[in-house]
Amino acid sequence: MITIEYKSKIDKNIDTMINEEFNIYAKKNEVNCQYQSFNFIAKDDQKIIGVITGHSYYREVHISDLIVLEDYRHKHIGTKLISAVEDRFRQKDFQHMNVTTYAFQAPEFYKKCGFQVEFIRKDKENSKLDKYFLIKYF
Domains in the chain, CATH or no CATH each = 39-137 (3.40.630.30)
Which tens digits make up the pLDDT trace of 59-100? 999 999 999 999 999 999 999 999 999 999 988 889 999 999
Does the pLDDT at position 114 exceed 90? Answer: yes
Kindly give, in sequence order, each residue whose CB lies less than 8 Å from that of residue 120, ignoring residues fewer than 6 positions away. 130, 131, 132, 133
| Residue-level pLDDT at 33 | 87
Is the pLDDT reported for residue 11 higher than 90?
no
So what's the pLDDT on residue 108?
97
